[in-house]
Structure 1
Amino acid sequence: MYGKIHEIYSSISGEGISQGIPTVFVRFAGCSLRCGKTDTKQLWCDTPYALGPNQGESKSFEAIIKEIEGLDKDHGFQILLTGGEPLEGKNREVSTSIAQHIFTYRTREGKPYPAPRVETNGSEKITLDSFFIFTMDYKLPGSGMENRMDLENFQILEKRHNSLDEIKFVVRDRIDFERSIEVIREQKIQTNILYSPVHGEVDAKELVEWIKIDNPPKCRLSLQIHKVLWGNQKGV
């Protein structure tokens, strides 16, 4: 069993409700979405180097687990599967095996963070499996990818009822924010909600004012603290 892996490294979680937690990142290569790119606007993906499947190295499940354990000998870090897209194509099978393996061991041994977190783009089907925690994007109009969203994922999140799951809205402009409010109401979302501004296109302080007025349930502003600490670097 092999997956396309761009990098595996340890750092801290940079955003969301797990922000600041020591984390081992497993970054898969390959994503079929191209967010934000229009005739006049540039791609806004913060990991464009991992979008193509050929930008990763084919690694076996066993090799991936060995690398994770080499970075986290005491099994105390959060494990985060990201991309690219960890649920796309053959990466899904490898992600599932990694999560099952870690969850089984850590549950048996009483280790922290038993279920790996998966950052997924909203176009791939999530699951009810308890060995996953999900950070799921919903792509708003400014991304140009809203028509690729799998709306059944909202029903799955409701059935999961996991207090650690989260939905992320990346906001390009006021139109995006208003659409997010519509989606929250239409889907009756009760999961944790993250709002992140598109860098250079909407001021985070302005986004805060919009959030304060509408105050969606269980929402928070999410800024990427790894970029504050290290800038736009890989492997941090």
Structure 2
Amino acid sequence: MFGKIHEIYSSISGEGISQGIPTVFVRFAGCSLRCGKTENRALWCDTPYALGPYQGESLSISSILKSIETYDKDHGFQILLTGGEPLEGKNRDMSVAIAQSIFQFRNANGKPYPASRVETNGSEKITLDPFFVFTMDYKLPGSGMEERMDAENFEILEKRHNSLDEIKFVVRDRIDFERSIEVIREQKIQTNILYSPVHGEVDAKELVEWIKIDNPPKCRLSLQIHKVLWGNQKGV
């Protein structure tokens, strides 16, 4: 089995409930969404260099696992599958194979973080598999991609009932925030909720004020600490 991998590197988790944890990132190539690219607004994707399905290197599962081990010899880092989109097309099979292998080894050997975290865009169906934990985006109107969201994912998250799962709302403006509140109420979301501002389009302090007023359950502001530390560099 081979997959298109754009990069593998170690750093700390930059956002969400796992922020600050030493992490090995496996970035898949290829994503069919183009978030933020509307008639009068620009693409906002953090990793536009990984959007194309042919921008990565074709790697086997054994070579990916060996590469992960070069960064994490003691098997103590969180493993994060990201993209691109790790659940899109053939990437899904590779993500499953990687996560299963890591889960089995770590459970058998008493290692931390047995379940690999998957950052997924909300358009691909998530799973009940215990070898995954999910950071799932829900794309709001400002992204231009809301119609691509798979609403069944909310039911799957509820069935998973995993305290490490999280839903991320990237907010472009007040309309986006109000829509997020509608979605939370409509879906009766009890999973961890992250709010992130679109850089340069909404002030994080203003977003905090909105959060304070509505105070959705289990929500938190999530800023990208890796950008604070290193700016927009790749591989950090």
Instruction: Report the TM-score when normalising by structure 2.
Output: 1.00
What amino acid maps onto 1:168 in structure 2? Answer: K
Query: Which residues in structure 2 correspond to 1:60-79 (within 5 Å)?
Result: 60-79=60-79
Please say if 1:165 is aligned against 2:140: no
Q: Which residue of 2 aligns with 1:196?
A: 196
What amino acid maps onto 2:26 in structure 1? Answer: V
Query: Which residues in structure 2 correspond to 1:81-100 (within 5 Å)?
Result: 81-100=81-100
What amino acid maps onto 2:93 in structure 1? Answer: E
Q: Deviations 1:140-187 (Å, cap 9, x if unpaired)?
A: 000000000000000000000000000000000000000000000000
Q: Which residue of 1 aligns with 2:228?
A: 228
Distance 2:180 2:173 in 1: 11
Q: Which residue of 2 aligns with 1:142?
A: 142
Distance 1:39 1:90 in 2: 31
Offset, 1:200: 0.2
Offset, 1:76: 0.3
Same amino acid, percent of matched pairs: 87
3-state SS in 1 of match to 2:17: helix
Distance 2:60 2:105 in 1: 19
Offset, 1:84: 0.1
Offset, 1:40: 1.5
Q: Which residue of 2 aligns with 1:24?
A: 24
What amino acid maps onto 1:137 in structure 2? Answer: D
3-state SS in 2 of match to 1:18: coil
Distance 1:15 1:196 in 2: 9
Q: Which residue of 2 aligns with 1:5?
A: 5
Q: Deviations 1:102-140 (Å, cap 9, x if unpaired)?
A: 000001100000000000000000000000000000000
**Which runs of 5 or more residues in structure 2 are unaligned?**
none
Offset, 1:39: 1.9
CA RMSD after TM alignment: 0.4
Q: Which residue of 2 aligns with 1:37?
A: 37
Q: Which residue of 2 aligns with 1:56?
A: 56
**Which runs of 5 or more residues in structure 1 are unaligned?**
none
Distance 1:212 1:56 in 2: 41
3-state SS in 1 of match to 2:150: coil
Distance 1:142 1:197 in 2: 11
Distance 1:3 1:137 in 2: 23
Q: Which residue of 1 aligns with 2:183?
A: 183
Offset, 1:58: 0.8
